[in-house]
């Protein structure tokens, strides 16, 4: 395994591919491998792209990769497609759109299927991102169809989350409200040359206004304040430096009491970019918006907070998965899930009773250990 890690760090494409395979398969030893990746990762910018089927995600990602390559940056892409809940099989078709980077190994494109385990996909995605990061990719794009909680968890592994919307999807935009809309840092209205694009932009803008008012009204006021009073903000800045001459501590206290008054904008308002991905229109504006968001994350310290949040979520998901495995083992030891279900069918017990039964020794053991120190 460590040989694999060495080859990956050495820039061996096949080692990178095999590492991601091991991560996906949870092959023996993959945990040590991922642990080994951590100290080499942390430099890449991670961008998440989601949106309804046919919105143009893969096409846009292709154009993004092309533009980054023109700027001399290396790109890693992970495209996640759903798998059949019945056979586990999947057709992963996102590669079809990758036409602009023919034979360019510095664009590493990997298709992954959402192998259906609780939280498993998002962990595998996060780990695969780590692998690409450690390999030395400058930009990493995670692409997935936006349909549910799983997808939201996936794009949460990104620094900047972009949601693609296509015109004429008024009702879709309504649907997006629950979930996807809240997590978007940048909106892209793709196929902006089609009729109805203006309306879709308008609808998104209205929804963002509503969100601001309903959610965190006070912060929203600050955001507006910051936006519309450029000159005043500069004056505040001047006052601030005068204050610093009097006493830095006071300025610091003021800054804490009134975040945003110093002119920096604590609240990010997602921009809405119009694009025609097939022609590459709007791609530069889109990439600029992503850079702006990244700068915002750095300036406000949100980047660090996000990273912390991500680590916490990774720990929680890992533990959830591991305990589920441990308990599955215990169920097998008790004769398998079918035997236990027989009890419920016969009316002798119920699912809650069984769950308590299985979990009780684990809970007892843990508590005893904690008390022993």
DSSP string, 195-208: TTHHHHHHHHHHHH
CB of 104 vs other proteins, minimal distance in Å: 8
Please give the backbone phi and psi of residue 274, each rounded to the nearest 5 degrees, phi first: -95, 135
CB of 355 vs other proteins, minimal distance in Å: 18
CB of 180 vs other proteins, minimal distance in Å: 26
Q: Which is nearer to other proteins, 107 or 155 (CB)?
A: 107
Decide: 338 and 332 in contact? Cβ < 8 Å: no
Euclidean distance between CA atoms 99 and 94, whole angstroms: 11
Q: Which is nearer to other proteins, 216 or 323 (CB)?
A: 323
Q: Which is nearer to other proteins, 126 or 272 (CB)?
A: 126
* β-strands 45-51, 139-145 pairing: parallel
Kindly state the greatest CA–CA separation across the chain. Answer: 80
Q: What is the DSSP letter of 278?
A: G
Q: Which is nearer to other proteins, 301 or 335 (CB)?
A: 335
Q: Which is nearer to other proteins, 25 or 234 (CB)?
A: 25
To 10 degrees, what angle do helices 197-214 and 217-228 make? 120
CB of 17 vs other proteins, minimal distance in Å: 4
CB of 274 vs other proteins, minimal distance in Å: 27
- Other C-beta atoms closer than 10 Å to the C-beta of 80 total 27
Residues binding other proteins (CB under 8 A): 13-14, 17-18, 20-21, 25-27, 83-84, 87-93, 95-97, 99, 102-105, 108-111, 113, 115, 117, 321, 325, 328-329, 332
Place of tokens 């780990």: 127
CB of 124 vs other proteins, minimal distance in Å: 11
Q: Which is nearer to other proteins, 125 or 160 (CB)?
A: 125
Q: Which is nearer to other proteins, 91 or 299 (CB)?
A: 91
Euclidean distance between CA atoms 161 and 146, whole angstroms: 12
Query: HSE (CB half, 13 Å, CA atoms) of 142?
Result: 31
What radius of gyration do the chain's Cα atoms show?
24
CB of 122 vs other proteins, minimal distance in Å: 16
Q: Which is nearer to other proteins, 329 or 360 (CB)?
A: 329
Please give the backbone phi and psi of residue 112, each rounded to the nearest 5 degrees, phi first: -130, 145
Side by side, the strands of the sheet bearing 272-274 are 107-114, 75-82, 139-145, 45-51, 160-165, 186-189, 272-274
Euclidean distance between CA atoms 287 and 293, whole angstroms: 10
Q: Is residue 255 packed enough to be buried (19+ CB in 10 Å), middle (13-18) or exposed (0-12)?
A: middle
Q: Which is nearer to other proteins, 30 or 187 (CB)?
A: 30
Distance between start and end Cα atoms, the chain: 35
CB of 33 vs other proteins, minimal distance in Å: 14
CB of 311 vs other proteins, minimal distance in Å: 22
């Amino acid at each position: 395994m460590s040989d694999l890690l060495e080859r990956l760090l050495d820039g061996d494409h096949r080692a990178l591919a095999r590492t991601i395979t091991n991560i996906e398969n949870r092959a023996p030893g993959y945990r040590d491998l991922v642990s080994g990746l951590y100290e080499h990762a942390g430099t890449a910018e991670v961008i998440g792209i989601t949106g309804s089927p046919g919105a143009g995600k893969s096409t846009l990602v292709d154009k993004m990769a092309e533009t980054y390559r023109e700027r001399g940056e290396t790109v890693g892409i992970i495209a996640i497609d759903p798998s059949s809940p019945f056979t586990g099989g999947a057709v992963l078709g996102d590669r079809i759109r990758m036409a602009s980077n023919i034979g360019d190994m510095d664009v590493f494109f990997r298709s992954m299927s959402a192998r259906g385990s609780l939280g498993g996909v998002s962990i595998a995605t996060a780990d695969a991102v780590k692998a690409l990061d450690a390999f030395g990719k400058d930009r990493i794009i995670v692409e997935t169809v936006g349909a549910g909680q799983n997808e939201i968890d996936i794009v949460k592994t990104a620094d900047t989350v972009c949601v693609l919307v296509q015109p004429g999807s008024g009702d879709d935009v309504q649907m997006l409200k629950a979930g996807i809309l809240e997590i978007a840092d940048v909106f892209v209205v793709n196929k902006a040359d089609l009729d109805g694009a203006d309306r879709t932009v308008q609808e998104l803008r209205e929804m963002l206004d509503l969100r601001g008012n309903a959610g965190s009204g006070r912060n929203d006021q600050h955001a507006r304040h910051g936006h519309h009073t450029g000159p005043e903000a500069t004056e505040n800045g001047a006052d601030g430096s005068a204050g610093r001459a009097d006493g830095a501590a006071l300025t610091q206290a003021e800054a804490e009491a009134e975040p945003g008054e110093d002119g920096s904008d604590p609240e990010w308002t997602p921009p809405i970019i119009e694009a025609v991905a097939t022609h590459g229109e709007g791609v530069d504006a889109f990439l600029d918006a992503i850079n702006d968001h990244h700068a915002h994350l750095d300036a406000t310290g949100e980047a660090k907070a996000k990273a912390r949040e991500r680590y916490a979520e990774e720990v929680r998901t890992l533990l959830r998965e591991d305990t589920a495995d441990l308990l599955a083992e215990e169920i097998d030891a008790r004769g398998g899930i079918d035997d236990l279900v027989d009890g419920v069918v016969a009316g002798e017990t119920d699912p809650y009773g069984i769950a308590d039964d299985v979990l009780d020794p684990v809970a007892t053991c843990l508590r005893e250990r904690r008390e022993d120190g």
